[in-house]
């Protein structure tokens, strides 16, 4: 029974994070934030990671087009108390977590990896590489 409880408790931060992500997306889509740096700005909340005790949430965000990411993250940090209050109205939680915002860099990382994979030295056929395919998939024991 302990393992069952352990699995449930490990799933709870994921479920709560997803609920908060949806709530933040709804709040940001309404466009009711007063900060001029956040007005007329489309922001995507890609992920919300919860601490194990559910008291802290880190929201990963990216503005549409990826422009001025750091400025957007700082502005969301200033709006965090307001956003926390709005989340309290939308999500049934005993305790609404403190919010922290960070730039989502997964798209930049994916672009970097894609660029690396397109390099001629990497894009070359693996069987026709510099070593002529030696030492790849051969049985060295015989």
pLDDT tens by residue, 3-18 = 444 454 689 999 999 9
Unique residue bearing structure tokens 């672009």: 111
How far is 49 from 104, CA to CA, in rounded Å?
Answer: 12
pTM value?
0.72
| CATH numbers and ranges of domains, the chain | 2-124 (3.30.300.20)
pLDDT in tens, 53-94: 999 999 999 998 777 889 999 999 999 999 999 999 999 999
Secondary structure of residue 114 in the 3-state scheme: helix
Count CA atoms closer than 13 A to 21's CA, side-chain side: 18
């Amino acid at each position: 029974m302990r393992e069952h409880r352990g699995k449930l408790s490990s799933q709870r931060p994921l479920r709560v994070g997803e609920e908060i992500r949806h709530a933040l997306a709804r709040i940001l889509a309404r466009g009711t934030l007063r900060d001029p740096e956040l007005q007329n700005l489309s922001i995507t909340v890609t992920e919300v990671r919860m601490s194990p005790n559910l008291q802290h949430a880190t929201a990963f965000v990216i503005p549409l087009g990826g422009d001025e990411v750091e400025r957007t993250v700082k502005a969301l940090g200033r709006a965090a108390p307001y956003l926390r209050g709005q989340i309290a109205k939308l999500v049934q939680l005993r305790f609404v977590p403190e919010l922290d915002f960070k730039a989502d860099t997964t798209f930049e990382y994916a672009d970097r990896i894609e660029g690396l994979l397109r390099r001629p030295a990497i894009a070359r056929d693996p069987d026709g590489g510099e070593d002529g395919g030696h030492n790849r998939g051969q049985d060295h024991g015989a």
